[in-house]
Structure 1
Amino acid sequence: MTGVFSLLPEGRPGLLVPAPGAAPGGSEDLARYLSVGGYAPLPAPDRLLDRIAEAGLRGRGGAGFPAAVKLRAVRDAPGGAVVVANGEEGEPGSVKDRWLLRHRPHVVLDGLRLAAAMTGAGRGCVYLSDTPAERAVRQALAERPPELPVDVVRTEHAYVAGEETAVVRRIDGGPALPTAKPPRPFESGVGGAPTLVANVETLARIALLHARPDAAGAVAGSHLVTLSGGGGRSGTGGAATLVEVPAGTHLKVLADLCRHGRSEAVLLGGLFGGLHGAGWTDLQLDHDRLRAAGGALGCGALHFLHPEDCPVSVATEATAYLAAQSARQCGVCVSGTGALARTLTAVAHGEADDDAADKLRRWSGQLPGRGACGLLDAAARIAATLLAHFPDRVDAHRRAACPACAGATPEDGRRFAVPVP
């Protein structure tokens, strides 16, 4: 099953629940958004900020950082603030941000308005690379001119282009490449001003939480998840299913929804959360629980591996893609991702040295945290989880080439890329 679905209990507010009369697959216009409580007045910004903290809303860009903490940091920094709706989806297996911008641009702009009120910002930006999304956002801005100046900033799509310092650098006229930290954007961002860089789903949940304060906890505890898999050697990640679910939903429920129930493994969090084999059906969609299991929720993209999909091949293609997507600004990232990709390619082709697994294990422990962004961490986690969950498969590849891994070196990420439903 592919498409867009909500698994929220009846009556629970969500981002995939269309307004009455909304055309399926179309962009929600201003009248329909107003009919569900959109753009409601905000008499007390601090009260909304407290409500966000009480609800426990976490950012949806990948790290899962508490949204209220970021908002307060920007609010309390000296100088006029800037707020940015970050809609650049670097993860090839994620579609949620582009879907929101294409089909519900007003809920994102409403969240940007509220973030500006809570931080005292005098300028806003919508940052994206998707043409249909840009068209929908500009139409929404024309329908309802914003209360503060809002620029739409276009970037070229790349894995690192959505990293928060890359966002700031691009808005300031430079390349969309990460910079060293500190300072972080909340200290010195766009034009040197304290800047909130917030994922578009995070902003949409802020808007929904404001419209439905009676359901704040439920709004904060729901997730947009992209499900894909079964592409195998066909060259693509297959079709995608975008689903909204409560936190704690078992991954087996999600796999069954999109006919991936026979899968033997799952790649978590886009390319950031690593591979998980035996026992993956018992995992629950929850930041803390997945972290305790050695994975990560990341942007909420799940790629299921069917019996014909070799985990060594998947890990090889993922690290090759990440190595190709490196900004090439950090020597440790260039050398680290390159070494991981080359060694995994050798494993996949049955050409690895006897110490390949030991090298992969050592590198995956030494490399995290040493790059300017999370790309190196993602590559290291893929290698580490491959070794942790599939040691026998890795060992078998040392002795002979695997038919499923033949040619498993593409760097364009096409195995993981999925279209927006």
Structure 2
Amino acid sequence: MTILQETPLQPRSIGQPRLLAGLTQGRADLQHHLWAHGVHPQLSRAAYTELAEAVGLRGRGGAGFPVALKLADLPARGIAAVVVNGSESEPVSRKDRLLLTMAPHLVLDGATGLAQALRARQVIVAVHDAAAAASVRAAIQERQDTVDIQVSDTPGRFVAGEARAVLRVLEGGPAVPPGRRVLPTRKGYNGRPTFLSNVETFAQLAVLARLGSREFSSTGLISEPGTQLLTVAGSVQRPGVIETPTGIPLTTVLQYAGAATDAPVLVGGYHGRWLPRPDGVILGRPDVSTGIVVALGADTCPLGEVHRVVQWLASQSAGQCGPCVFGLAALVDDFGRLLLGDPAGWHDAHRHLGLVPGRGACAHPDGSARFLASALEVFGEDIRMHLGGGCGRAVRGVLPVPGGTGE
């Protein structure tokens, strides 16, 4: 078994790479970037909107909001900034970090091109990884953009990667989402309309601008064509970031990465859900909105792995609401007792999971509850073994948590 976090970023592709084109020799400087992708065209706001609508492009972060609708929601003028959310705080994910580290010019092309079309004053790249930030700063020095580009360091906490938390950090505030849910297109950076999306979205925009809608749509799903980046981790022989066509079968990805195809799989990260088997699963939304596939394998204790993760999720609470502060803490206790064979832990976990969703100030309680509820459903046989005395397997840290085994 190989843990992703202990290996270098390894970009690979199933099919012809687009986002990862030209990276076989490592990081692409400006010269190699232009050789692989060509010059970025200058497009109008209407052209970007038309292209995004034609291919059904959605944001490649957790929300998956249609890019064309986001552009349409912005006012005609007075846009403060284009913000690239590179605060990839999900412990498993590495796709955005890889793009910023190895293909920073592709991301900057998408961001600066859109900023010029929107007549935004600046581009802000928010990133918490030091290597990624250094790569972007080096890329800025190689370019001659007419729009101002700033790199802002952000905390690495889980909730700090949420869009509204990123905006608060950029304004000098705490790295937690505010309770109110106001779209950045209405009230974003410094209270003004802002286009904010994650790193891969801007890279996709740069590819789309160059290829046009017809060529962009020559691969992938009809409903959302193109390619996608997947971080494949866990009990796999070849972990790393893989570019694939959208709509690829999950079994194909697992086979490519050297993982078993007859064991449970986590899709969507620690706010995602467990699948009992990968058979018949097509990788599209909403399962891989965050681009994460984790193979569990058969030689670790599933409940022990889940308990480690829920402990970490509870530690990442923003401390703003009861479902997060008390609900997640209760679930840590529930799963701990269940792990020790206490039937009351099983009953209490179900009861608490019914109280958490829909009541939080941000998406953290809901996402955590989704992850845990699917674990109770998928690992039913393992639960029965623990209630009968234990499963007999050690907890090997296949699911990485910062500061723990598998980090």
**Residues in 1 aligned to 2:405 and 2:86: alpha-carbon distance in whole angstroms:** 22
Deviations 1:278-321 (A, max 9, x none): x323211011xxx5xxxx32311111011112221222122111
Return the offset for 1:239: 6.8
Q: Which moved more, 1:115-124 or 1:163-172?
A: 115-124
**Residues in 2 aligned to 1:6 and 1:330: alpha-carbon distance in whole angstroms:** 42
Q: 1:106 to 1:412 in 2, by over 3 A?
A: closer
Q: Which residue of 2 aligns with 1:156?
A: 155
Return the offset for 1:401: 3.5
Q: Which consecutive residues of structure 2, in runs of 5 or more, have no partner in the other structure?
A: none
Query: If the length of structure 2 is used for normalisation, what is the TM-score?
Result: 0.89
**Residue in structure 1 matching 2:297, options 293, 301, 306:** 306
**Residues in 2 aligned to 1:342 and 1:274: alpha-carbon distance in whole angstroms:** 21
Secondary structure at 1:188's aligned position in 2? coil
Q: Which residue of 1 aligns with 2:260?
A: 261
Determine whether 1:52 maps to 2:52.
Answer: yes
Equivalent AA in structure 2 for residue 127 of structure 1: A
Q: 1:330 to 1:37 in 2, by over 3 A?
A: same
Q: Which residue of 1 aligns with 2:25?
A: 24
**Residues in 2 aligned to 1:41 and 1:204: alpha-carbon distance in whole angstroms:** 14
**Percentage of identical aligned residues:** 34
Q: 1:23 to 1:5 in 2, by over 3 A?
A: closer
**Residues in 2 aligned to 1:195 and 1:44: alpha-carbon distance in whole angstroms:** 17
Q: Which moved more, 1:79-88 or 1:125-134?
A: 79-88
Q: Do the aligned partners of 2:262 and 2:278 also contact (CA within 8 Å) in 1?
A: no
Deviations 1:5-46 (A, max 9, x none): 1112x4xx511121xxx6612x21112222344442324331
> Aligned pair count?
393
Alignment of 1:214-293 (within 5 A): 214-217=214-217, 218=219, 220-230=225-235, 240-261=239-260, 264-277=263-276, 279-287=277-285, 291=286
Q: Which residue of 1 aligns with 2:92?
A: 93
Q: Which residue of 1 aligns with 2:384?
A: 395
Secondary structure at 1:244's aligned position in 2? strand
Return the offset for 1:189: 1.4
**Residue in structure 1 matching 2:353, options 359, 364, 370:** 364
**Residues in 2 aligned to 1:92 and 1:317: alpha-carbon distance in whole angstroms:** 13
Secondary structure at 2:314's aligned position in 1? helix
Equivalent AA in structure 2 for residue 229 of structure 1: G
Secondary structure at 1:160's aligned position in 2? helix
Deviations 1:91-145 (A, max 9, x none): 1111111110011100000110122134331121000011111111111111113
Equivalent AA in structure 2 for residue 313 of structure 1: G
Return the offset for 1:346: 1.3
Secondary structure at 2:136's aligned position in 1? helix
Return the offset for 1:152: 0.6
**Residues in 2 aligned to 1:75 and 1:246: alpha-carbon distance in whole angstroms:** 34
Secondary structure at 1:309's aligned position in 2? coil
**Residues in 2 aligned to 1:244 and 1:413: alpha-carbon distance in whole angstroms:** 29
Deviations 1:31-78 (A, max 9, x none): 2222344442324331221111110111111222212222222345x6
Q: Which residue of 1 aligns with 2:71?
A: 71
Alignment of 1:168-207 (within 5 A): 168-207=167-206
Q: 1:402 to 1:410 in 2, by over 3 A?
A: farther
**Residues in 2 aligned to 1:405 and 1:373: alpha-carbon distance in whole angstroms:** 34
Q: Do the aligned partners of 1:251 and 1:281 also contact (CA within 8 Å) in 2?
A: yes
Q: Do the aligned partners of 1:180 and 1:372 also contact (CA within 8 Å) in 2?
A: yes
**Residue in structure 2 matching 1:404, options 371, 377, 393:** 393
**Residues in 1 aligned to 2:262 and 2:325: alpha-carbon distance in whole angstroms:** 33
**Residues in 1 aligned to 2:180 and 2:406: alpha-carbon distance in whole angstroms:** 30
Q: Which consecutive residues of structure 1, in runs of 5 or more, have no partner in the other structure?
A: 232-237
**Residues in 2 aligned to 1:406 and 1:202: alpha-carbon distance in whole angstroms:** 36
**Residues in 1 aligned to 2:404 and 2:385: alpha-carbon distance in whole angstroms:** 26
Determine whether 1:62 maps to 2:53.
Answer: no
Q: Which residue of 2 aligns with 1:234?
A: none
Q: 1:39 to 1:154 in 2, by over 3 A?
A: farther
Q: Which residue of 2 aligns with 1:318?
A: 309
Q: Which moved more, 1:218-227 or 1:185-194?
A: 218-227
Secondary structure at 1:151's aligned position in 2? strand
Equivalent AA in structure 2 for residue 4 of structure 1: P
Determine whether 1:343 maps to 2:334.
Answer: yes
Q: Which residue of 2 aligns with 1:7?
A: 14
Determine whether 1:125 maps to 2:124.
Answer: yes
Q: Which residue of 2 aligns with 1:115?
A: 114
Q: 1:362 to 1:169 in 2, by over 3 A?
A: same
